[in-house]
Amino acid sequence: MNRTRRQSEGKLSIAFPKPTAQVEPYVEALGFEDALRFLDTFGGTEVYIPENPKGRGEVEKLLGREKAKMLASIAFRLPARVPTAKVWRAKAHKSKGLPVVEIARILGVTDFSVRRYLRGFASPPNPNQPELF
């Protein structure tokens, strides 16, 4: 989990977790914060992204016209259904300093699930640890 902070351009910035392959196009187009907001809002649903937004769509209301256009420009790279990316989102929210219970509310899961996501869920097993089951 990347929770370290680094000094850049006189401001304190947060080291965010590396985006997964399914999240990476969103982060490239929108930036970290907006990609996280987009996934929190639309994750798990099908979203229509018009090529020329006219101010009425939910995507444009959330992101603004320019970011909605940017997302539309890469729509060919995006799946029809927005990924939930719960593990990545949990790590991203934790890197922003949110407590586990608040992350659980945002993701719609239990605090036990969030702790599991943050524990290194995908890390390789320790060869020195014996298998119990």
pLDDT higher than 50, residue 122: no
Say what percent of the chain tops pLDDT 90.
Answer: 59
Structure confidence at residue 40 as a pLDDT band (50, 70, 90): very high
pLDDT higher than 60, residue 25: yes
CA distances from 70 to 74, 84, 114 (A): 7, 20, 31
Q: What is the mean pLDDT of the chain?
A: 82
- Judged by DSSP in three states, 53 sits in coil
pLDDT higher than 90, residue 23: yes
Q: What share of the chain is helix, strand, coil (3-state, %, to 5)?
A: 45, 10, 45
Instruction: Name the least confident of 30-39, 77-86, 99-108, 120-129.
Output: 120-129
Say how many C-beta atoms besides its own lie within 10 A of residue 119's C-beta: 9
CA distances from 110 to 40, 114, 117 (A): 16, 7, 11
Q: Which amino acid is at 60?
A: E
Residues in the chain: 133
Cα 42 to its chain centre, rounded Å, is 11
pLDDT higher than 80, residue 28: yes
- Judged by DSSP in three states, 13 sits in strand
Nearest Cα residue to 3 out of 13, 11, 12, 15 = 15
